[in-house]
Every structure is written in C-alpha cells, then in structure tokens.
Amino acid sequence: MTRAAARGQDADAPGVVALSARGLRRAFGTERAVDGVDLDVRSGEIHALVGLNGAGKSTLMRLLLGLQRPDAGRALVRHAGALRDVGEVRPEAFGQVGHLVETPFTYAELTVREVVRSAARLRGLGRAAADRATRGVLAELALERWADRRSRTLSLGNRQRVGLACALVHEPTVLVLDEPSNALDPAGVVLVRRRLRRAADAGAAVLVSSHHLDEMARMADRITVLHRGVVVGSLPPGGVDLERQLFAMVAAADGVPTEEALG
Amino acid sequence: MTAALEVEALKLRRATAARVAALAVVLGVPALSVGFVLAAQRAPGSQAAAKVAPMITGEGLAAPLGLAGQVLSIGLLLAGGVLVSWSFGREHADGTIGALAALPTSRRAIVLAKSVLLLAWGLAVAVATVALTVLLGLVTGAGPLDDAASAAAGRALAVGATTALLTLPFAWVASALRGYLAGIAALLGVVVATQVLTVVGAGAWFPYAAPAMWAGLGGPEVAERVVPLQLWLALPVALLGVGATVRAWDRMEVR
C-alpha cells in the first residue's frame, strides 16, 4: 500500500483522470498566456508538456494548482473520488499533490534535511512519518552527502534536487513539475527519470514540462505541444527527431514554413 | 497549525535577521538608557547631559528604566517591524511563496503561525530588555529596585508589549506588495509620522504615537494626558493587520 493510500487518499486506478484543464484561459493584459486549453492527466501516466519559451506551460501549471485564477474555464483535481474545482478543495486536496513550479522550496538558513522535513510536515505528515520520509527521499535523490549542509551552500543542481525531494516526500498521487531536470547533471536527470517512472507505475498522475525533447521521449507516456497558449498537437512518445516534428507543428500553428520557425 | 508553527519557529530560530534585531534591542536599549543617565548624573554640564536631560524623569533606578521605555518604543518598532516585513516579504523575494500557497497546510495557518511567533519574539525581546536594564542599573549603582523603579519597569514592559502588537500590520504591506522592502518603507513612514506627532504633542489617538508618548518621549506632561484606551488601540490595529494579511494570502495569485 502506498503512503497516500494509507492516509485514506485516492490511489486511483490507472487511466483515471486525476488532473484536468477544461477550456482554461488566462490573459495578462493583452497577452493571452493560456488560451482555451483542454488537457487531461491520467493516473499511472507521465504527461509531458512541451513548447517554446513563453508557450504558457508554467501559467497552465499554476492554473491547475490554483496558484492563479482562470479568466474562463475550469482547473479540476480529483479529490475524494471526484474531479473538483481546485479553488474549492484547497487546501485539503493538496495532501495528495506534489509540485515544483520554477523556484525550489529551499530556505538558505536551513539544512537540506530541515527543508525536506519541513516540506513533509507542511504536506501533512506526522513527526515520525516526516523523519522516515525525509530519510527515504534524501537517499533516493542522492542528497545524503549534503543532508546537514545549509541550503545556501548548495549548487543550483542540488537545490533543484532538494526542490524535487520536497515535492515527492509525501508520495503524492498527483505530481506537477515544471522543468524538473533544470540544472541537473546527467546522473541527476537519470535519477529523476527513474523516480518519476516509479511514481507513475505506483499510480501517480505526473504532469511535467520540459525543453528537453529527448528526455521527454524517453520518459513520457503522452506528449502535448503547447504554443502561444494553445494546444497545437501531440508528439509520439519514444518517437525519433521530435525536435523537427515540434518545429513543424509550431510553424504550422503560426502559418509559416518550418525553416522560418527554426530561425 | 501545529506543522506551520513548527516550521515557522525553526525558520525564525535560524534567521540571522531575528538574531541581529533581538541583540540590537536587548543590548542596545539598556546600554543607551543606563549610559545616558550615568552621563547626565556624572557630568551634568556636558553636551550629552544637556541633550538627554529632558528625557530623564524620576530618581534612582526609575530614571534608566523610564528612558528604556522611551527608547524601546522606537527601537522595538523598528527592529520588530523590519523582522515582520522580512518574514512575510521574503517568501515572495525568495520565490518560496509558490510552494507555500499550494499545500494541505492552509495559507491562513501559515500567516497565523508567523504572526503568533513574531509577537512572541517581540514580547520576549521587551522582557529581556527591561530585565537587562534592571540588572545593568543595579550593577552600576543607579539605585535599588523600589516601588518607583518597579512602576517604571512595568511601564517599559507595557510599552514593549504595545509596540510588539503594532509591528504586525507591516506583514500586510509586505504581503500585498510582495516584498520586504515595501514593508520596511511603510515602517519608516510610520516612524517619521510618529516622531512628528509625538514632538508636537498631538495625536495620542494615532496608535503608533501613543506608546512613545506614554513612555515620556514628549515629556512628562504629555505622558500624563495619554489615556489607557489610546494604548489599547494597538490591539484592534494588530488584529486588523493580521486579518488583512490572511485575506491578502487567501486572495493572492502567485506569478
């Protein structure tokens, strides 16, 4: 039994929609960051969101996490067996959600162990469970060597690992990770890929965004392409030359030849 | 709430800002108060004595304790206000707000935990400041801890408690404007307004001026005119500040 299931939360059957965007829209001034997105993230799947800078990936993730309010449409998360508006089930639904969007949860003055344990406590684990879970996730992400170092002394890559440890420490059934392999060395990239695969295999619904198409091709079960706030298509996971396919898709959406989109 | 209190207590305990601010008040206020009174008594003709004489009321140990109340009314407001602004504003400046705002621990619990701990910090600093002033006064032979000195110590503690409450609304400024510098700017504005109102002897109804005036910063006559209700106004101001901060966090969007 997973820890989430032990706490009485939904351990969803594979294929059940755990996180969903329905006609989501959000503009900042005249810029339409997310412009009518429909997207389902299913249990047991790694769903990758790819696109160029400014495509709206981070905004879409923030809308799904209730960190921003949509102008129109709905951001839904599965809670107590049904899909519910994220704003209505906050904060209780977040016991089963783990997220890392842009800045890792680190405090310069705390040690790595203290940061991760704090995240575990704030994510609903009791004291003893938080200690156990912290030890486990530090080992999994190869952070034991730095466990008693202050966060301010860490490299960018290790700070990212700490951020991931905080998102994973409570074994969530829904994971939302923006550029999880940001600043990671090749060993870290492999570690994260394995860890996310394990989470999905255990039934978690995983939404990740990335610029690394090769990495996504290896990791994802489903790849959605976002461009100028709109879903413009999907790419075959495990496919070859995804970069070319992505640019062709983006160019088609912009109505220009692929070479022009490549600059 | 327990988890939020535990985590915020750990952050506050480790924060350099909290230590520096506490030491500045706890060591600075007794040293200044006892030092100035000694200077005024031992070198009555000196320039320092002439400047500080109007601020000294009472005899014996009551003199440094009375002065400590006055210095505490400004010192604790500045040190505590900076710490409150930093504690709330840093979550925006450090980018940790995105993680804090989507947890099973509610945003309200985090705001309340921070507020309770920062108030406790202010009260502890006030108690330590008054205790150290008494100790330093006794050691330097200012006089015994008689009734007058106890009353002055009580007044300094009440000034400290009132001032600690008044630091809490800066959390709202730092939260609404997403950074500690905004909170600190508002604090400086309030300190300037307080000084002006205290010096002209008006405005004990301005909650930030009342404790300083009651402490004697505008002279003994002004202090006599301050009524308890004017001091008690700090309580609704603090509650309104915390309430507004909870509301700001609840409605906040993370960008």
Say whether residue A109 is in contact with chain B using an 8 A CB cutoff. Answer: yes
Q: Are the beta carbons of A106 and B106 separated by less than 8 Å?
A: no
| CA distance linking residue B208 with residue B213, whole number of Å | 9
So what's the pLDDT on residue A263? 57
Q: Which residues of A touch B10 (CB under 8 A)?
A: 110, 114, 118
Q: Residue A214: exposed, middle, or buried by beta-carbon count in 10 A (0-12, 13-18, 19+)?
A: exposed
Instruction: Give the distance from residue A16's alpha carbon to the nearest chain B alpha carbon, in angstroms.
Output: 22
Residue in B14, B85, B247, B249 with CA at minimum distance from that of residue A106:
B14
Higher pLDDT, A242 or B136: B136
- Report H helices in chain B: 2-14, 16-42, 47-52, 62-93, 97-100, 107-139, 147-167, 170-176, 180-199, 210-215, 220-225, 228-232, 234-251
CATH-assigned architecture of domain A3-258: 3-Layer(aba) Sandwich (3.40)
So what's the pLDDT on residue B243? 98
Say whether residue A31 is in contact with chain B using an 8 A CB cutoff. Answer: no
Question: Which amino acid, A67?
Answer: L
Residue A38 reports pLDDT greater than 90: yes
So what's the pLDDT on residue A212? 82
Q: Kindly identify which residue of chain A lies nearest to residue B91, measuring between CA atoms.
A: A107
Q: Which residues of B touch A90 (CB under 8 A)?
A: 102, 106
Q: Which candidate in A62, A67, A207 is best for mutational testing of the B interface (most B CBs within 10 A)? A: A67
Q: Kindly identify which residue of chain B lies nearest to residue A126, measuring between CA atoms.
A: B3
So what's the pLDDT on residue A9? 45
Question: Which amino acid, A256?
Answer: V
pLDDT in tens, A70-80: 999 999 999 99
Helix (H) or strand (E) holding A26: strand A17-28
pLDDT in tens, B186-227: 999 999 988 787 777 668 889 999 999 999 888 888 888 899
Please give the average per-residue pLDDT across A26-50, as a whole number.
96
What ipTM was estimated for this complex?
0.91
Query: For the ranges A104-108, B180-184, B214-218, which has the lowest average pLDDT?
Result: B214-218
So what's the pLDDT on residue B193? 87
Q: Which tokens sit at A113?
A: 């162990």
So what's the pLDDT on residue B115? 98
Identify which of A99, A108, A163 has the shortest CB distance to residue B102.
Answer: A99
Question: Which CA distances in Å does A145 have to A141, A150, B22?
Answer: 11, 12, 34
So what's the pLDDT on residue B255? 82
Q: Which residues of A touch B4 (CB under 8 A)?
A: 122
Identify which of B7, B15, B100 has the shortest CB distance to residue A109.
Answer: B15
Say whether residue B101 is in contact with chain A using an 8 A CB cutoff. Answer: yes
Residue A8 reports pLDDT greater than 70: no
Q: Domain limits at B216? A: 2-251
Name the domain count of chain B: 1
Q: Please name every residue paired with A233 in a beta bridge, in sequence order, or none if there are none.
A: A225
Please give the average per-residue pLDDT across B47-54, as a whole number.
78
- The per-residue DSSP string of B163-193 comes to HHHHHTTHHHHHHHTTSHHHHHHHHHHHHHH
